Structure 1
Amino acid sequence: MAGYDPSAFPAVAVTVDLVVLTVRNGALCVLVVRRGEDPFAGREALPGGFVRPDEDLLAAAARELAEETGLAPGTAHLEQLASYGAPDRDPRMRVVTVAHLALVADPPDPQAGTDAAAARWAPVDEVLPGLAFDHDRVLRDGVDRARAKLEYTALAASFCRAGFTVAELRRVYEAVWGRPLDPRNFHRKVTSAAGFLEATGETTTRDGGRPAQLYRRGPATLLHPPLLRADS
């Protein structure tokens, strides 16, 4: 490129940050780590790390997810969320991060990575605001993405174990959307959405009362019709 002077541009580091969401005890929870090093030592933040020279972005995000949760690659939904590159977002140097959203079902207790003092699953409402860097914004963007995707995709099943009841699926929607849903109306909608659920042929009484049918996620990726929050 004519006139291009590399010395006029400072070095830029690239990281990946993870918004890892799950549902625990009826609440939408996020994986957070307590930073063990500066900057923001002692503050909680989203997990993440620098992209290695030989990695692409998705591979780096999958590696960080496996390191923080112990989940094997491919066992959780993982997608790119957004990029964040404000010049002052990291006091160490110019850092551009590419955030990823992960949805996990019944994850194990997290183990803090080498640069973190602790890690935990925390209700989203408990940690906002107060996260290090610009992670409040990143987390809010991730929650907004998850809420929207539950309307028109089958991703709600990513929060559920292999065999789940309609009531358990409803509690996922309630936790992510942050409000109660009518059980009968919800049951009618999810069982009529083509390809959303497949009956396993088994039942369970873990919800109490009469045996409930167990389902698994069907082949559909998009919901027809969608489950709009305004109509639920």
Structure 2
Amino acid sequence: MSREHQQGIDVTVDLVILTIRDSELHALLVERGNEPYRGRQALPGGFLRPGETLEHAARRELKEETGLDAARLHLEQLRAYSEPNRDPRGRVITVAFLALGPDLPIPTAGTDASDAAWVPVPSILAEPGLLAFDHLTILRDALERARSQLEYTTVATAFCPEPFTISDLRKVYETVWRLKLDPSNFRRKVTRADRFLEATGERRLTEPGRPAPLYRRGPAHLLHPPLLREGHLARLHTTTPALR
């Protein structure tokens, strides 16, 4: 029997939960109430319990640590992180999940979290020592996954309360991608994408005398054709500095 097997390997789940608040991409952080890194901010998460699947553990930790209901979110597995020294408590492998939701409410901390709050992603990335463990790496990976998903899938609608306008959807892309997009070009591309959007037949007055058509998410999961960040959609317009 190997020494590693004798010591045991623990498995945790960590969650990168993203929403758009005040026209800025935010991530949910908790303040750790226990050691290690007590008092430091971190991603929500915890240990896998006997008999649990990874997704069940992610949903449970989401509810216990933040009070948020996973049923309101788009939830997908990101990847596993297994650096031998990533956790000072011992050999701990974590499986990260990415969760996306529309203008989610103020979270309520619970169990081993002292506090929970939405924090703008740019401010997190600007402070490399802010997050405990390897959570900054996980956040960066999740951010790139979210950006890529917007190119090839219909997941952008997960950020939009239904019904929504094309302008609402465009602001999601601009916020996550950190790009300024041409409204007419964007409208043409998303309305021509196969089964991406469904018109509700209703309109919302967004500007005086200019009611905008309302849409809901269509049945498609993949975008055809895709909306590429570096393609014609973005190439014609000025860009803002990308988040790193």
Q: Same fold (TM over 0.5)?
A: yes
Corresponding position of 1:26:
23
| 8 Å CA contact retained: 1:111, 1:119 | yes
Number of aligned residue pairs: 227
- What secondary structure is seen at the aligned counterpart in 2 of 1:39? coil
- Check if 1:191 corresponds to 2:196: no
Q: For residue 136 of structure 1, what is the amino acid of its counterpart?
A: L
Using the alignment, how far apart are the partners of 2:52 and 2:220 within structure 1?
31
Give the C-alpha shift of residue 186 in structure 1: 0.6
Q: How high is the sequence identity, in percent, across the aligned residues?
A: 58
| 8 Å CA contact retained: 2:98, 2:142 | yes
- C-alpha distance after superposition, 1:160-216 (max 9, x if no partner): 1021111010010011101211111111111110100001111112x3331111110
Change (3 A) 1:168 1:68: farther
- Check if 1:165 corresponds to 2:165: yes
Corresponding position of 1:214:
214
Tell which deviates more after alignment, 29-38 or 132-141.
29-38
- C-alpha distance after superposition, 1:11-57 (max 9, x if no partner): 11110000101111111110001112211111111000111112010
What does 1:74-89 correspond to in 2, within 5 Å? 74-89=71-86
* TM-score normalized by the length of structure 1: 0.94
| 8 Å CA contact retained: 1:204, 1:213 | yes
Q: For residue 95 of structure 2, what is the amino acid of its counterpart?
A: V
Gaps of 5+ in 2: 234-244
Q: For residue 72 of structure 1, what is the amino acid of its counterpart?
A: D
Which of 51, 55, 58 matches 2:52?
55
* TM-score normalized by the length of structure 2: 0.89
Gaps of 5+ in 1: none
Give the C-alpha shift of residue 6 in structure 1: 5.3
Give the C-alpha shift of residue 71 in structure 1: 3.9
